[in-house]
Structure 1
Amino acid sequence: MASPITSSFQTSNLRSAFLGERKGFIVYSAPASNVGFLKKTVECKESRIGKQPIEVPNNVTLKLEGQALEVKGPLGQLSMTYPREVVVEKEDSGFLRVKKAVETRRANQMHGLFRTLTDNMVVGVSKGFEKRLQLIGVGYRATLEGRILVLSLGFSHPVRMNLPDGIQVKVEENTRIIVSGYDKSEIGQFAASIRKWRPPEPYKGKGVKYADEIVRRKEGKAGKKK
């Protein structure tokens, strides 16, 4: 005669689970048909951004080898290796397309992301990108010494920042900084490192902010009423 544990496991519903024996008690799970079972199928919809073609200008050359793409233009050269969830194809019309290789949730997430990254590469080497910052505060100023950006932000010493390769910086009226280049991620990272030294404070708005940034102001503490 089979043990209670074995017989219960053999006669249980396929969707039920056997929990085993614990502290001398035999614990059984209830069939899923008794407690309710919710099953939801997740559909992998095609990304609206990912399915858009990428226009390649005449002054940009592409080199595609397997999952690696190299883009070269008048401003510079960029390369990227794609994950196995997506593939890159060059059409006869000159457009570039990023497609899903498999129908999974991760592939759906990677589709739109890598299409955007690919478009940034093409636009970057042909037209370039720029990020503008503004210094607000008494005595706040910026100057260039060759490939070194010098910032006076109210510290006891000036802040000196070396410019990365492929990044150009222009200073206007000592209070406006323009960071430009062909790699959008590098531009954003360097601009963020400048802003990090003195983020804008919410009371008087002093600090380093992006030109299109809106700083939410707070009302200062009122003096004591007499």
Structure 2
Amino acid sequence: MACSLNSSFQTSNLRTVFLGKKNEVCVSSVPVNRVGFLRKTVVCKESRIGKQPIQVPSNVTITLEGQFLKVKGPLGELSQSYPREVNVEREEPDTLKVKKAMETRRANQMHGLFRTLTDNMVVGVSKGFEKKLQLIGVGYRAMLEGKDLVLNLGFSHPVRMAIPDGIKVKVEDNTRITVSGYDKSAIGQFAASVRRWRPPEPYKGKGVKYADEIIRRKEGKAGKKK
């Protein structure tokens, strides 16, 4: 009997709290604790690539003016403007170092990037870069005509590409192309433009590919076993 009275009393209290008397809206007076979030400070680590110093050869001249760097060597001249997130400092006559100017995520990303770009500038004007391409296919060949690279890639007409200034192109055996120069980005862009005319297909490997590129072959329908 006591249990039934207690249960009926609890039921009436619940109805009073949630439904209210005479169908009136009743707001519960149960206290609600405020949920808090702990903010953890994110510390940006220094880039392993960005913190490495850049060695400058004796035949390279460097001009540093604030956030602007000019590099001149026996092969050419390059310049680079740096964002406010990083600074370029000349610690010794033959050493450059790229440092972060602030502790942010973007500065951490720019640190390694601009250290690599600076090193490419120094290596480019002193030693240079090159990219090799290979033509694979019956009748595919390349030749030089003045300052143009002419490609026969199976189209109804030959493809003629103007060679930009600062880039040298050499053709060997009509199927091997070597693109060289002091600007690494320009070399890569021109080589990619040549490859884009006829990318290698995966069945027979025909097309224009990089010399060190590995083409994953697919098996044709005729070669599949039933």
- Judge same fold: TM > 0.5, yes or no: yes
Query: Which deviations, in whole Å up to 9, do the C-alpha atoms of 1:108-151 show, x marking residues without a partner?
Result: 00000000000000000000000000000000000001110000
Aligned ranges 1:149-160 → 2 under 5 Å: 149-160=149-160
Q: What one-letter code is carried by the residue in structure 2 that aligns with 1:171?
A: V
Aligned to 1:57: 57
Question: How many Å apart are 1:224 and its aligned residue?
Answer: 9.9
Q: What one-letter code is carried by the residue in structure 1 that aligns with 2:120?
A: N
Aligned ranges 1:68-217 → 2 under 5 Å: 68-217=68-217
Aligned to 1:221: 221
For residues 148 and 89 of structure 2, the distance between their equivalents in structure 1, rounded to whole angstroms, comes to: 41
For residues 185 and 173 of structure 1, the distance between their equivalents in structure 2, rounded to whole angstroms, comes to: 26
1:67 and 1:221, CA in 2 relative to 1: closer, same or farther beyond 3 A? same
Please identify runs of 4+ aligned residues in structure 1 that moved more than 4 A. 223-226
Question: How many Å apart are 1:222 and its aligned residue?
Answer: 3.2
Question: How many Å apart are 1:42 and its aligned residue?
Answer: 1.9
For residues 47 and 66 of structure 1, the distance between their equivalents in structure 2, rounded to whole angstroms, comes to: 22
1:143 and 1:40, CA in 2 relative to 1: closer, same or farther beyond 3 A? same
Q: What one-letter code is carried by the residue in structure 1 that aligns with 2:197?
A: W
Aligned ranges 1:9-48 → 2 under 5 Å: 33-34=34-35, 37=37, 39-48=39-48
For residues 224 and 67 of structure 1, the distance between their equivalents in structure 2, rounded to whole angstroms, comes to: 60
- Report the secondary structure of 1:171's partner residue: strand
Q: What one-letter code is carried by the residue in structure 2 that aligns with 1:125?
A: V
Q: What one-letter code is carried by the residue in structure 2 that aligns with 1:44?
A: C
Structure 1 alignment gaps of length 5 or more: 1-30
Q: Number of residues paired by the alignment?
A: 195
1:67 and 1:156, CA in 2 relative to 1: closer, same or farther beyond 3 A? same
- Report the secondary structure of 2:80's partner residue: strand
Given that residues 58 and 94 in structure 2 are in contact (C-alpha distance below 8 angstroms), is that contact kept between their aligned partners in structure 1? no
For residues 114 and 223 of structure 1, the distance between their equivalents in structure 2, rounded to whole angstroms, comes to: 49
- Report the secondary structure of 2:187's partner residue: helix
Aligned to 1:11: none
- Report the secondary structure of 1:91's partner residue: strand
For residues 132 and 114 of structure 1, the distance between their equivalents in structure 2, rounded to whole angstroms, comes to: 26
Question: How many Å apart are 1:33 and its aligned residue?
Answer: 4.0
For residues 225 and 196 of structure 2, the distance between their equivalents in structure 1, rounded to whole angstroms, comes to: 37
Moved more, 84-93 or 179-188: 84-93
For residues 44 and 190 of structure 2, the distance between their equivalents in structure 1, rounded to whole angstroms, comes to: 36
TM-score, normalization by structure 1:
0.82
For residues 199 and 166 of structure 1, the distance between their equivalents in structure 2, rounded to whole angstroms, comes to: 25
For residues 189 and 113 of structure 2, the distance between their equivalents in structure 1, rounded to whole angstroms, comes to: 18
Structure 2 alignment gaps of length 5 or more: 1-31
